[in-house]
Amino acid sequence: MTKRVLVTGGCGFLGSHVCELFRKEGWDVISFDSMTKYELKRTGYGTEATRDYNWDYLKGLGVTMVKGDIRNLEHLTDRTEGCDYLIHTAAQPAMTISWEDPELDFSTNVLGTFNVLEVARKRKIPVVNTSSIHVYGNSINDSLKEGKTSYERDPIEIPETQPTMVGQLSPLHASKMSAEHYVRSYTDMYGIKGASFRFTGIYGERQFGGEDHGWVANFAIRSYFGLPLRIFGTGKQTRDIIHAADGAQAYLAYFKNPIPGVYNIGGSKEHKISLLECIELIGEILGKKQEVLFEVERPGDMRYFICDIKEARKFGFAPSIKPKEGVTRLLKWIEANKDVFNIDGK
């Protein structure tokens, strides 16, 4: 019998890769997305075309497309009839937006996650909540060494036992951590097979990244179109970036071996790269030198995070796409879809 999965935020960047993977694996896939334009309006790209891009792409793959809001429990419940799995990628992902609209941040990330968990409890099916390394806070900044082009730390990788919610916190920190607490409570009290994935530096094709969220794609898009890049801080901020195709594989691996818990999902030390190093890599691939502008570091920013992924490997997670390959794929996608961006007629 064919299995069925509902992906909240299915038309978002990560969600679209999850939908694509499960569809290619032979699943019935439902994309549940509010199709909000709030975040995309801030990028300066052609909002209408970029917002519809993933919808049209997934529809062409045979994904069932549903426009709906995770804050509406009744609508979400109605669309999950017969589902074997819930993957929750819908979110308000940007720290800057959480400062400006904390109610939107709370209702999307906390109430929305609560509703997803209620459906998982009712349906008695596994669920994965998409969280973020932001829950660790930014006190890690205090223990770093400053290298030539990146921040350094010993040990390099950081496990899930790292203290959370420390340093200067934003509403995004609070909403993401609250969502994780709810996942654990539903696992403990109701026995659902729930997990939270703490992602770092996710990037790839179909990401319309801006300064608020999606920095690898933001740098790639602006570099391709010859626009200046803006960095807040030194540019030595460092992550273990992970391609979305690898990220999507984590959800499939979890369904096959659903061990409840909290997991770092990143590329580990093999995928370590700083903002400056990423910009240099993009310039090398494109064969051009970019204009880079530096501004004051933003409050709450985390300068460094490299995931220890030993726990996620236990259920089968194994990232394989290295930064040069992944960034090259992203730039080729931008080239093939340059008309979608509608940037000054370029």
pLDDT in tens, 133-160: 989 988 788 889 999 999 999 999 999 9
Q: Which CATH number fits domain 4-341: 3.90.1150.10, 3.40.50.720, 3.30.1330.60, 1.10.3720.10?
A: 3.40.50.720
Buried/exposed 299-324: b ≥16 CB within 10 Å, e otherwise: ebebbbbbbbbebbeebebebebebe
pLDDT of residue 37: 65
pLDDT in tens, 242-277: 999 999 999 999 999 999 999 999 999 999 999 999
> 15 near 6, Cβ under 8 Å?
no
AA identity, residue 321: I
Q: Which region among 124-133, 261-270, 278-287, 294-303 has the lowest average model confidence (pLDDT)?
A: 294-303
Better-predicted residue by pLDDT, 300 or 174? 174
Q: Provide the pLDDT confidence category of residue 44 given band limits of 50, 70 and 90.
A: low
Question: Which phi and psi angles does 314 have, rounded to 5°?
Answer: -65, -30
Q: Global pTM?
A: 0.94
In 3D, which of 330, 296, 108 has the Cα closest to residue 215?
A: 330
pLDDT of 59 over the 60 cut: yes
CA pair distance 297, 300, nearest whole angstrom: 9
